[in-house]
A and B are shown apart, each in its own frame.
Chain A
Amino acid sequence: MAQFFAYIVYKNGVADDSALEIVSAVKKIDSSAAVTAIVTGSGADLDKVANEVAASYPEVWKISNDALAYPNAETVRKALINNLPADGVILMPHDTFGMDLAPGLSIKLDSAFVSDVVDFEGVEGSDIKIVRQEFAGQVSTHLKCDMSGGAVITLRPGVFPPDESKSAGGKVVDKDAGDVSAKRKYLETVVAEVGDVDITKSEILVSVGRGIEDQENLEIIHELAKAMGADVACSRPIVDAKWLEKSRQVGTSGLTVKPKVYLAVGISGSFQHMGGIKGNPFLIAINKNPKAPIFQVADVGVEEDILEFLPELTEAINEAK
């Protein structure tokens, strides 16, 4: 069986949730596999994370180099190529760093590549049976991935349950990064601006997506939110179109909210959007497309055109007051 590796993403000396999710993901491929964790960086944060994940992985490769202290997939990729066996299977999260690192890594290792995996359904010979979603989550697909020559696999964050057993009692092994020179240099991280309303503190959110169709139609959202005593949030396409501020965007590339009630209108429900909704709110979805993935995760669904339905809803709420 193949040798499995987990690339550990971390921030401020604390491992990302994906570090424990990869442990359970590999068990779905091969329940007897001993997975090696790889941590790159430098200084105290690196040592701390290496020791943290040693509780969950029997062996941790610690690759220390000053050039690896910054988020730069180009340097990390070189450090991995300098250390990984050609037929290794390496897993990492499908987050903004994994998306930067993984595709090119698969080319340099000449191995198979599958991204944004949501499930594994066993192994036959050297083929892993993999589940992904396509077309904005509207349909799923089974893929067969030949891992005999190695594989790079990214996992959808939050899908595999974290393995909390922490009984590996692993050892940390120092590895040499080798040449990590790169034609790309990290400069700085610009932190997102804070908006006029802090939606991360809102108890009731009316969140609007692409289904609103036109900027002028946003008025019906504001009126509904006013009637409910809610704040207005949105999904990515509304910010891309510059109809609402970035500080109103819910999702992995926006803000994480934890309201009591979340009313999603005209939102299809991509995993990036759903990733920004925490605290298990009562989730209501209104969408005219019955195939919209949001209906799979909402508590209550209404199949209606929001442009016609919402004004009636607003009027009825105002009358009921």
Chain B
Amino acid sequence: MEILVCVKRVPDTAENEIEVNSDGTDIERDDLVYSVNEWDNYAVEEAIQIKDKVGGTVTVVTVGDDESEEVLRREMAMGADNGILLNDDAFEGSDGKGVAAILKAAVQKGNYDLILTGAQADDGAAQVGGMLAAMLDLPYASLVNYIDVSDGKKLKVGREVEGGNQEMNEIELPCVLSIQTGINEPRYVGIRGIRKVASVEIPTYGASDLGLDAGTVGAGAAKVKRLDYFVPDLGEGAEMLEGSTEEKVAKLIELLKAKGGIK
């Protein structure tokens, strides 16, 4: 099976305190720890496991700048065969639809049976997979936490729905799936693994390589534009306990007792 996985380099929200920059045009990007979007990492692992079962290749693709190459190499160190970087100044300022249009052009340069994305990324929009599928006229399922590839023409997929329930579907190939975390246990990638793929050539395609009219992507084509980042005034928020650790412990125990939090 020929599998394409769309990935994104994002600030790791578990490792960073995200702050807004002084004029509100962006987040403060100095000293941020970046990594591959968590959902995408599960998608790549799933693709590799499918390849190990039924054969084929796994290609990872990203829309990003030169620095995004590092996430492609990381996923190749996991076991993806090929990487593709989609990089062009014309892509700057693309909204979700613009990103999906760029990916669509990359998909059409290949011959893929299965296209995976993470269910969502750093902006929490959960949009690109569904958009890409609709642009390609392929069937789509989101929030997938189970894939059975035993039939060559269709997949049996589980979708994670409310309450921890799982909605089982049959979906024809080729198709696009967005992958939910927890579907597998992504393998560990060591520094040695990354070194192994350090010199592998990663092709870079721009708008003209992809046959994309620059007017259909980027800020000019975007129907959704960012005005600013801000930290909302959320009123009081939590009463923060102050003092030494001992003092905080003592206050907390007092509160827990008062509220019935200690039996």
Contact = CB atoms under 8 A, between A and B. Distances in A.
A74 interface: yes
A217 B118 CA distance: 28
Interface stretch (A23-31, A47-55, A137-145, A158-166): A137-145
Contacts of A113: 95-97, 127, 131, 223-224
A198 B263 CA distance: 18
Interface in B120-150: 122-131, 133-135, 138-143
Which of A97, A135, A300 lies at the interface centre, i.e. has the most chain B CB atoms within 10 A of its CB? A135
Contact of A301 (B119, B124, B135, B240): B240
Interface in A124-144: 129, 131-136, 138-144
A72 B140 CA distance: 10
B163 A187 contact: no
B54 interface: no
B225 interface: yes
Contact of B125 (A115, A204, A236): A115
Interface string B233-246: 01001111100011
A101 B131 CA distance: 10
Interface string A94-121: 1111011111111110011111100000
Q: Give 10 nearest A-B pairs by CB, closest first.
A: A229-B263, A103-B130, A301-B238, A104-B134, A192-B164, A261-B261, A240-B182, A112-B223, A107-B134, A183-B139
B260 interface: yes
A173 interface: no
Contact of B234 (A100, A204, A296, A304): A296
Q: How large is the interface on B (under 10, 10 to 19, 20 to 34, 35 or more residues)?
A: 35 or more
Given A144-B227, A261-B261, A313-B253, 20 more contacts: A96-B162, A99-B119, A103-B126, A103-B131, A108-B134, A113-B224, A114-B125, A135-B27, A143-B224, A184-B171, A189-B168, A190-B158, A228-B261, A239-B182, A253-B163, A302-B241, A302-B248, A304-B245, A308-B245, A317-B262
Contacts of B33: none
B141 A100 contact: yes
A151 B127 CA distance: 14
A285 interface: yes
A300 B226 contact: no
17 contacts: A72-B169, A100-B159, A132-B123, A134-B122, A141-B226, A144-B224, A192-B165, A228-B262, A246-B164, A247-B164, A255-B164, A256-B163, A300-B238, A300-B239, A301-B241, A302-B248, A313-B252
B135 A107 contact: yes
Given A187-B169, A290-B17, A103 B129 contact: yes
A255 B261 contact: no
Contacts of A144: 224-227
Given A299-B239, A313-B249, A187 B168 contact: yes
B231 A140 contact: yes
Interface string A4-19: 0000000000000000
A278 interface: no
A142 B227 contact: yes
A210 B14 CA distance: 8
B20 interface: yes
Contacts of B237: 295-298, 301
A289 B14 CA distance: 9
Given A255-B164, A316-B250, A104 B140 contact: yes
